[in-house]
Amino acid sequence: MSDGLAGQGDLLLAFDADDTLWHSENLYHAAQAQFRELMTSYADESTAMATLHRVEVANLPPYGFGVKAFILSMIEAAVELSGGKVTAAEIGEMLAAGKEMLAAEVELLDGVADTVARLSADYPLMVITKGDLGHQASKLERSGLAAHFRYVEIVTDKTAEVYRNIFAKHGIAPQQVVMVGNSLKSDVIPVLELGGWGVHIPYRLTWAHEHAELPADLATKYREIERLDELPALLREMR
């Protein structure tokens, strides 16, 4: 699998979930807009958002990724921005926003349902998603896609070492993997570093923490498409 894809039977297709299979970041953006509105009495918009981002990133080690971590970070940022004057009612609105996010309907991206079903007939599929275990498992089940995936991995972070351990657990060589996702930093680059293939499908909204540049030495096994339903044709082209 050095210059082109191996035979169809030798491949495993791995997918990110949030903003690759279904919409997610739009929920965070809506909650951030609500946060900015709540903080108008305490700080200007740019200060509020910069503080929230800084607190979110600082809280990744203890809290990890996901809605619950995000809401805790919003409350902490509000306490800081208000100098401890944030009201119980304002905190209540943030908690309510989090509950709405957790209960939100799983909305698949265009073409995902048919494409995943089609690909599962020809390849073993894996979903690798990071975040809260219960919430991510619930979203996968509610998406209607769960039956198509042979393997499901919900992790606290996505690094080359995490991917290496996942593939080793299932007896899969990284060179057999085509990883598909919306984040260069979390989905594509770590698998490229292991010798696998990476297919990037940019989403219209991206959390600043997920921005990254593709190293030039990894570009030979990198591809980019606009929609998931372009993937079957891309796989044929790559073979």
- Residue 212, domain CATH: 3.40.50.1000
> What is the predicted pLDDT for the residue at 12?
97
Of 68, 103, 138, which residue is a domain's last?
103
DSSP notation for 42-91: TS-HHHHHHHHHHHHHHTHHHH-SSHHHHHHHHHHHHHHHTTT---HHHH
Kind plus residue range of the DSSP H or E element containing 178: strand 177-181
In a domain, 200, yes or no: yes
Q: Are 25 and 205 in contact (CB under 8 A)?
A: yes
Closest CA to 123 of 19, 202, 203, 236: 236
pLDDT, mean of residues 100-127: 96
96, 124: one domain = no
14, 82: one domain = no
In a domain, 48, yes or no: yes
Of 103, 121, 149, which residue is a domain's last?
103
116, 193: one domain = yes
Q: Are 192 and 222 in contact (CB under 8 A)?
A: yes
User: What whole-number distance in Å separates Cα of residue 85 and Cα of residue 37?
Assistant: 16
Q: At 223, is the pLDDT very low, low, confident or very high (cuts 50, 70, 90)?
A: very high
Number of structural domains (the chain) is 2
Q: Where residue 38 sits, what CATH number does that domain have?
A: 1.10.150.240
pLDDT, mean of residues 18-36: 94
User: What residue numbers bound the domain in which 38 lies?
Assistant: 25-103
- Residue 1, pLDDT > 50, answer no
Lowest mean pLDDT among 17-21, 28-32, 61-65, 177-181: 61-65
Of 66, 82, 103, which residue is a domain's last?
103
Q: What residues contact 44, with CB distance under 8 A and at least 6 apart? A: none
> What is the predicted pLDDT for the residue at 206?
63
